[in-house]
Structure 1
Amino acid sequence: MSSQIPFLDAEAVARLRPRDAVQALIDALRGGLDTSAGAPRSRAPLTHGAFLMMPAEYGADAGVKVLGLAPGNPERGLPSIQGLFLLFDAETLTPRAVLDGAELTALRTPAVSLAGIRHHLLADDSPLDLLIFGGAIQAVRHATVTADVLDGHRPLGSVTFAVRSPQSASLPEEVAGLPVRVVQAGTPDADAAIRQAGLIHCATSAREPLFDSALVRDDAIVVAMGSHEPDAREVDEYLVARSRVIVEDRDNAMREAGDVVLAVEAGVIAPEDFVTFADIAREGSHRVDRPVLFKSVGMAWEDVVVAGAVVAAQGRTWE
């Protein structure tokens, strides 16, 4: 082992092109990665917050992401979530690299969302009207990663963010050269944007449905990734009932994904009706005759796969 383990800061992690992170996830699933084999995330309470730990392994890589969750940090001018990802050799467990955990999460999360829907998203070449609920980092990154995946395959038609307080939202003025429109969630303007959208990303901390799902087009794709608790959801059971529902892993979804857990409890769908991440990774691009809903909660193996791709993209190896 080298006397100095390389640290890849946020800038270095961000050098991996988003569409390459998407492809790395799809390749891992096509390569036989077992999404149910990893350990579930664990939480360790602390005096001023908690540690969240997510260990996993895939191929030649093993790793663990350790995040510090400090609810009081915004008052100190600090992020409420900070952390590191530790990458090891899977056989020898020799440390290979340390990565900025926040940037890895900011890259990995939208990459997972796009990997889950890419085969449906690219089945059409008409301009895509994009709507994102939320105004924080994941909302922004879902917009930019979507644009990167579409680049050269399908044009963006419009980009709209729906937020609770448009006056205080800090959002980019444009995405992929298109002007960004900001509307207030729950208003007629937001309802009109829902009716128009071909892709809706939900990236919020909401615990109740964000919108009336009757407004969603029959050919729309919806991604719900903001919640990972069994009693919290961003979409209602009516959307689940009328959609092709994709989840990362059935058992994990029934532990953490309130959007589908509550729909199962309502009797509108059964877990065996879910399409898994591994299933869709083997599919080619194609349309379906109903909405598509991808419910993501984040799994540790995704961090390992993307971290391995980040290190490989550095163009160097460390012994």
Structure 2
Amino acid sequence: MHALSRPLRYLDGATVASLCARIDPLEAVTEAFLAVRAHRSGVATEAALRWTAPDGAAARSLVLPAWHEGVYGCKIINASLGNAERGLPRAAGLILLYDEETAEPVCIMEGAYISALRTAAVSVAALRAVRPLSTVDRVALLGCGVQARTHLGLLAAHGAVKSVIVHDLSPSRCRAFADDLRESLPEIDVEIAADAGAAVRSAPVALATTTTTTSYVPLAWLPEGSVFLNVSLDDAAEDVLLGADHLFVDDWHLVSEDDTRLLGRLARAGRATGPGVEAPGARQVDADLATLLSGAYPRPISSTDRTVINPFGMGVHDVALATRVHALARDTEAGVFLPR
């Protein structure tokens, strides 16, 4: 059968989740980081469409094109901050994979599950490069949504976390989240923090997975030797980004070109620069995550150093995970075929 006549494979969310359960996501994202470092994988310019929904909530659609080891594709991930009030997931999306020769789409799959898993895998892989996961006994979670649940589940699956302290601006959501954790992860002690400061101060690792656009976590909250995973990108205050002992990003070009997030605004103001770029009065990002994960980061991270990981999000990791999902789908004849 000629490539042009092939049907389009579609994988729904349940199928994607079942196939992802057979994949090591930390291995996949680490492989992708190293491939980017070796110029075998990469990302193209992202596109963002933002609008205000009729109910006044902020909505957006992001398109992240990327290639990984000869596979080409993109993630389309949408979100509306009003979805929680509608009883809907905040984010929804699709991932498309293309034929290398003809460029036609060969697979389309539900993307929100992979997007959340990719995000958590990058965080946990970066944390593992900084601290042995077996020593990460306690974690603070800021924000009680899908990302927080996915991060904690992945940490637990890799032998980390004996206790967690959670905080959310919605007390009812926080209580429901804590109750869910006590049922689904009974081996982990769960506490609810009265405020974000109490949570961050009490844990050697803090994860910010919120929807805030206003920074609120100062450097003074971070204990000595702690790691702050700035997943939602705007939780860490200016003095955290400029004053941490070690600051890592996934892709400086993506960070510096974006003016909606704090670190990008600091870059545009000349107050932060990329790895290896010195400028008077500017904080230099210490390294990208590919350098850290490859073992090439030259500076030791001491037991008292404060480390900040600021992962902007690279579509190459979604494509890397989706490639593995697609391969399993072909091997197991999973999914349904759509006519062209």
What TM-score results when the alignment is normalised by the length of structure 2?
A: 0.77
Question: Is this contact kept in 2: 1:206–1:234, CA < 8 A?
Answer: yes
Aligned to 1:255: 257
Q: Deviations over 1:259-278 (max 9, x none)?
A: 43355578775333321122
Q: How far apart, CA to CA, are the structure 2 residues paired with 1:270 and 1:278?
A: 17
What are the Cα deviations for residues 156-189 of structure 1, in whole angstroms up to 9, with x where unaligned? Answer: 2311111112233331233362132222324xxx
The counterpart of 1:105, out of the listed 112, 115, 123, is 115
Tell me the distance in 1 between the aligned counterparts of 2:32 and 2:118.
14
- Counterpart of 2:148 (choices 123, 136, 139) is 139
CA–CA distance in structure 2, aligned partners of residues 196 and 78 of structure 1: 32
Q: Secondary structure at the match of 1:304?
A: helix
SS in 2 for 1:235: coil
2:11 equivalent to 1:5: no
- Residue 230 of structure 2: aligned partner: 224
- Cα RMSD (Å): 3.2
* Structure 1 residues 75 and 167: alpha-carbon distance in aligned structure 2, compared to 1, 3 A threshold: closer
Q: Deviations over 1:238-272 (max 9, x none)?
A: 22212311101112111237343355578775333
Is 2:106 aligned against 1:96?
A: yes
Q: Deviations over 1:66-117 (max 9, x none)?
A: 2344566555544443221111233332433211111111211111212222
Deviates more, 1:305-314 or 1:264-273: 264-273
Counterpart among 203, 206, 214 of residue 212 in structure 2: 206
Could you say if the C-alpha distance between residues 17 and 120 of structure 1 is closer, same or farther in structure 2, counting changes exceeding 3 Å? farther
Q: In the TM superposition, what whole-angstrom CA distance separates every residue of 1:1-33 from its partner, at most 9, and x where no partner exists?
A: 475432222222223249711211111222345
Q: Indicate if the aligned counterparts of 1:237 and 1:268 stay in contact, CA closer than 8 A.
A: no
Q: Which runs of 5+ in 2 are unaligned?
A: 54-58, 276-283
Return the letter of the residue paired with 1:129. Answer: R
Is 1:126–2:139 an aligned residue pair? Answer: no
CA distance in 1, matches of 2:263, 2:246: 12
- Taking the aligned partners of 1:126 and 1:66, their CA distance within structure 2 comes to 36
Aligned-pair identity in percent equals 23
> What letter matches 2:237 in structure 1?
D
> Counterparts of 1:317 and 1:57 in 2: how far apart (Å)?
24
Structure 2 residue aligned with 1:245:
247
- Pair 293,176 (structure 1): closer, same or farther in 2 beyond 3 Å: farther
- Structure 2 match to 1:177: 187
* 1:168 aligned partner: 173
CA spacing shift, 1:50–1:284, aligned 2, 3 Å: closer
Conservation of the 8 A alpha-carbon contact between 2:229 and 2:309: yes
CA distance in 1, matches of 2:224, 2:295: 21
Report the Cα offset of residue 282 of structure 1. Answer: 0.6
Is the 8 Å Cα contact of residues 18 and 107 (structure 1) preserved in structure 2? no
Query: Could you tell me the TM-score, scaled by structure 1's length?
Result: 0.82
SS at match of 1:24: helix
Aligned-residue offset at 1:213: 2.2
1:60 aligns with 2:70: yes
The count of aligned residue pairs is 305
SS state at 1:222 partner: strand
2:313 corresponds to 1:298: yes
Q: Output the CA distance in 1 between the equivalents of 2:11 and 2:330.
A: 13
Deviations 1:111-135 (A, max 9, x none): 121222221121x743521111001
Any conservation in 1 of the 2:266–2:272 contact (CA below 8 Å)? Answer: yes
Q: Which runs of 5+ in 1 are unaligned?
A: 228-232
Instruction: Tell me, yes or no, if structure 1 residue 28 matches structure 2 residue 28.
Output: no
Distance 2:153 2:215 in 1: 24
Does residue 1:288 correspond to 2:301, yes or no? yes
Query: 1:166, 1:182 within 8 Å by CA — same for their partners in 2?
Result: no
CA distance in 1, matches of 2:222, 2:52: 43
